[in-house]
A and B are shown apart, each in its own frame.
Chain A
């Protein structure tokens, strides 16, 4: 990637593109004027997050009828507005909404929904037109176009394995297994868990030191300022805090991707879901505050999604795999609206919600409005979702 071109291409006002001279960077702190690097941070909720218990139709009697054991009462839910309210664990999502920094996109999904985790994630990660099988991810295809030669840090994935969404023709993204290894590189060498096999220990040590682009990352970490925000201690927080440091250190990555698991709540849903959403809430809110203090929130768009929602009716202690669910967009100068109508619990397909907004139109909107890239170049034919940015 030619970094300079990349920068100038993405230096945009909220509408239309404009190549900006450097001195205009001073305007970066003004509201509604987005200057400098734009990036998108994806938070994938693995397992199929129960949308109906996340953003809740608390005034719909059908909701309580369908979910006698796991429905959240009108008293529990928070920030009710226009028939919808947040799960009590998501109190800071409500705050961000109140600040005008969070959009909810309702009933997001795709036609002929698949209820397999494996396949549905594959669909979300590859964004095919008619569910054809693709071997490259939608972000990987985008980065292939954006990067002239391969640029290992154009996309950053924090996970123990590579992410299909970022897989392209060229290795334009890297997978970082453990951000801690970067932050305390000098001191972790001895903390390696030993396997008892000297050959394996040796190779693991090497493997851990190997990340293409690690110099660029180290450099960004060095330049970055420390967080003024205290992140709560959990896995997602750690990843987001680290991403914040890279953004603040000017790594110029276009895409960050991380995920959290535990949303496959077939059983014991109330307790599990509450914990998961709390972790999500705390991590994202800390990240949000961190970016806000650094005056970078308008440059960073956070996207929270899951491979599918869950069945409308509960199964006694939890819910089975379903279809459409809300997506949350935070930061990036989004319009802070609730887009789409409230879930229609009276018109179901085999007990599942019928999607109203195609996830690919959200992708198109991110690509065109945030990354200044024409979505149909990578085979996304849906027009961008209106009213998001």
Chain B
């Protein structure tokens, strides 16, 4: 696998950017990615979704007075959430420089605010858009901004955190999962942090302190003393010597290695601190230096989105059923806006179980056979030849022989091809395979189908 192809997969969701990387070099490519335009508008699907306190009040009234209509509203919002997921996938697919969306997903899975608890779709969207805007921004700034979102204070129960009746959830996760990581703070820091955050609750344009519930007593927090509020607390966190490493490690795991070496995390973490927690220079340094290293492929298990979008791209499927893709992701344990808990998707080996692997293979079979994501067939349709629902086409060179075609395909799909896989592939395309025959394309598709079902395809 060529380096440009590997890095197109790592920094996006397909091999589509490999030519651009080749043309611009990795640094040029990153620069373009940072500056590429992206959607900043509120999608129409949220037009009727409640956004303001007036809207919520009206809903509360309906819920009390009209249980039937209330059910309808709940159903409608769950439909809206589904559309929001589909909308996001559209953003991901349509962007020529998907690095921003991949980074948005990263933040989405770092500063988790799941729909399990956050029932206001507009808030979920606001956080999503914040992660998109700040994708390449500053870690410290983003941390502060996230604390000021309604989704976060709602998700981690800070709405219940009041002077004299504290709730430590947000205070704890702020240190444990969002910034320093376990072992780098004390339980007293958590308690005092909750005091500092007391009264930070829902607001019109985002979370804000409600003076009546605030706790303005001086606290000691990570060695800093005084009346510390949200922003001062974050500053105290970012003065802690351990601050750069957790995020650096997670960036490595998201893009490159499931198990990054400690010395890498330290090396790049120290740099992250030096550049004052700016994301751009960190990404540039990691990606260019790791790009220059040889033989780094085969270190990360693809997440379901990387897996499925690569197939869609390779097969040039113009009209993938995005709604069904949303459901596929859920089956695969990557339901957007709905991580199982505040830790987010664990990634790495936890992406795969035998059930999930089987679903992936089934999807590969479906798509390679020109059928769309959903394969539910009604009983009435049984025994009726199924019409192809998507047009698939694969890029390959009919002037090549069987081995060259195998190489062409595996070069852009597999990080490694061992002897037994090669033998299997040559069983499908034999030495006397005629690439000019009318059935050649189907045969190459069968080869591709076998390739993408091999264990190696699960890994980049």
User: Which A residues are within 8 Å of any B CB, using their own CB?
Assistant: 116-119, 121-122, 133-135, 144-145, 148-149, 160-162, 164, 167, 169-171, 195, 197-200, 202-204, 206-207, 209-210, 212
Contact assessment for B439 and A197 in the assembled complex, using a CB-CB cutoff below 8 Å: no
List the A residue with the shortest CB-CB distance to B447: A161
User: Which B residues are within 8 Å of any A CB, using their own CB?
Assistant: 258-259, 298-301, 349, 352-354, 357-358, 361-362, 365, 369, 377, 379, 382-383, 385-386, 402, 416, 418, 420, 423-424, 427-434, 437-439, 442-443, 445-446, 449-450, 454-456, 458-459
Q: Bound complex: CA of A161 vs CA of B449, how far in Å?
A: 10
Contact assessment for A206 and B352 in the assembled complex, using a CB-CB cutoff below 8 Å: yes
Q: How far is the CB of B398 from chain A (nearest CB, A)?
A: 15
Partner of A203, one of B365, B449, B455: B455
Contact assessment for B430 and A118 in the assembled complex, using a CB-CB cutoff below 8 Å: yes
Partner of B439, one of A133, A144, A212: A133
Contact partners of B442 in chain A: CB under 8 A: 133, 135
Q: Bound complex: CA of A244 vs CA of B301, how far in Å?
A: 38
Contact assessment for A210 and B354 in the assembled complex, using a CB-CB cutoff below 8 Å: yes
Contact assessment for B386 and A169 in the assembled complex, using a CB-CB cutoff below 8 Å: yes
Contact partners of B416 in chain A: CB under 8 A: 197, 200
Q: Bound complex: CA of A375 vs CA of B158, how far in Å?
A: 69
List the B residue with the shortest CB-CB distance to A207: B455
Partner of B258, one of A117, A170, A199: A199
Which of B358, B418, B459 has the most chain A CB within a 10 Å cutoff?
B358
List the B residue with the shortest CB-CB distance to A161: B424
Contact partners of B455 in chain A: CB under 8 A: 200, 203-204, 206-207
Q: How far is the CB of A129 from chain B (nearest CB, A)?
A: 14
A-B contact pairs, 14 of them (CB 8 A): A117-B430, A118-B429, A144-B383, A161-B424, A162-B446, A198-B259, A202-B301, A203-B301, A203-B357, A203-B456, A206-B354, A207-B357, A209-B354, A210-B357
Beyond A149-B377, A207-B357, 11 additional pairs, beta carbon < 8 A: A119-B439, A133-B437, A133-B439, A135-B439, A160-B424, A169-B369, A199-B349, A200-B456, A206-B455, A210-B357, A210-B358
Contact partners of A122 in chain B: CB under 8 A: 439, 443
Partner of A169, one of B379, B385, B402, B445: B385
Given contacts A200-B456, A206-B354, contact A161 B439 (CB under 8 A): no
Contact partners of B300 in chain A: CB under 8 A: 199
Partner of A145, one of B365, B383, B428, B445: B383
Contact partners of B385 in chain A: CB under 8 A: 169
Contact partners of A207 in chain B: CB under 8 A: 357, 454-455
Q: Bound complex: CA of A122 vs CA of B446, how far in Å?
A: 12
Q: How far is the CB of B352 from chain A (nearest CB, A)?
A: 5
Partner of B459, one of A117, A164, A170, A203: A203
Given contacts A200-B456, A206-B352, contact A117 B428 (CB under 8 A): no
Q: How far is the CB of A205 from chain B (nearest CB, A)?
A: 9
Contact assessment for A212 and B358 in the assembled complex, using a CB-CB cutoff below 8 Å: yes
Contact partners of A167 in chain B: CB under 8 A: 446
Contact assessment for B358 and A171 in the assembled complex, using a CB-CB cutoff below 8 Å: no
Contact assessment for A164 and B446 in the assembled complex, using a CB-CB cutoff below 8 Å: yes
Contact assessment for A160 and B420 in the assembled complex, using a CB-CB cutoff below 8 Å: yes
Q: Bound complex: CA of A225 vs CA of B369, how far in Å?
A: 39
Given contacts A161-B450, A198-B259, A210-B358, contact A171 B443 (CB under 8 A): no
List the B residue with the shortest CB-CB distance to A141: B385
Contact assessment for B459 and A148 in the assembled complex, using a CB-CB cutoff below 8 Å: no
Contact partners of A204 in chain B: CB under 8 A: 455
Q: Bound complex: CA of A148 vs CA of B384, how far in Å?
A: 11
Contact assessment for B424 and A200 in the assembled complex, using a CB-CB cutoff below 8 Å: no
Q: How far is the CB of B430 from chain A (nearest CB, A)?
A: 4
The 4 closest A-B CB pairs, nearest first, are: A133-B439, A118-B430, A203-B455, A116-B432
Q: Bound complex: CA of A312 vs CA of B432, how far in Å?
A: 21
Contact partners of A161 in chain B: CB under 8 A: 424, 427-428, 450
List the B residue with the shortest CB-CB distance to A203: B455
Contact assessment for A199 and B301 in the assembled complex, using a CB-CB cutoff below 8 Å: yes
Contact partners of A209 in chain B: CB under 8 A: 354
Q: Bound complex: CA of A103 vs CA of B302, how far in Å?
A: 52
Q: How far is the CB of A124 from chain B (nearest CB, A)?
A: 13
Given contacts A171-B365, A203-B455, A209-B354, contact A116 B428 (CB under 8 A): no
Contact assessment for B357 and A162 in the assembled complex, using a CB-CB cutoff below 8 Å: no
Q: How far is the CB of A198 from chain B (nearest CB, A)?
A: 7
Contact assessment for A203 and B443 in the assembled complex, using a CB-CB cutoff below 8 Å: no
Q: Bound complex: CA of A227 vs CA of B118, how far in Å?
A: 61
Contact partners of A133 in chain B: CB under 8 A: 437-439, 442
Q: How far is the CB of A186 from chain B (nearest CB, A)?
A: 16
Q: Bound complex: CA of A119 vs CA of B429, how far in Å?
A: 10
Q: Bound complex: CA of A200 vs CA of B423, how far in Å?
A: 19
Q: How far is the CB of A248 from chain B (nearest CB, A)?
A: 27
Contact assessment for A206 and B433 in the assembled complex, using a CB-CB cutoff below 8 Å: no
Contact partners of A119 in chain B: CB under 8 A: 432-434, 437, 439
Contact partners of B432 in chain A: CB under 8 A: 116-119
Contact assessment for B458 and A210 in the assembled complex, using a CB-CB cutoff below 8 Å: no
Q: How far is the CB of B232 from chain A (nearest CB, A)?
A: 42
Q: How far is the CB of B294 from chain A (nearest CB, A)?
A: 15
Q: Bound complex: CA of A212 vs CA of B357, how far in Å?
A: 10
Contact assessment for A199 and B434 in the assembled complex, using a CB-CB cutoff below 8 Å: no
Q: How far is the CB of A79 from chain B (nearest CB, A)?
A: 34
Given contacts A118-B429, A162-B450, A203-B459, contact A148 B298 (CB under 8 A): no
Contact assessment for B353 and A206 in the assembled complex, using a CB-CB cutoff below 8 Å: yes
Contact partners of A117 in chain B: CB under 8 A: 430-432
List the A residue with the shortest CB-CB distance to B348: A199
Contact assessment for B383 and A203 in the assembled complex, using a CB-CB cutoff below 8 Å: no
Q: How far is the CB of A15 from chain B (nearest CB, A)?
A: 26
Contact assessment for B424 and A210 in the assembled complex, using a CB-CB cutoff below 8 Å: no
List the B residue with the shortest CB-CB distance to A46: B427
Q: Bound complex: CA of A121 vs CA of B454, how far in Å?
A: 23
Contact partners of A212 in chain B: CB under 8 A: 358, 362
Contact partners of A202 in chain B: CB under 8 A: 301, 349, 352
Q: Bound complex: CA of A193 vs CA of B420, how far in Å?
A: 12
Q: Bound complex: CA of A144 vs CA of B377, how far in Å?
A: 12
Given contacts A204-B455, A210-B354, A210-B357, contact A116 B434 (CB under 8 A): yes
Contact assessment for B298 and A118 in the assembled complex, using a CB-CB cutoff below 8 Å: no
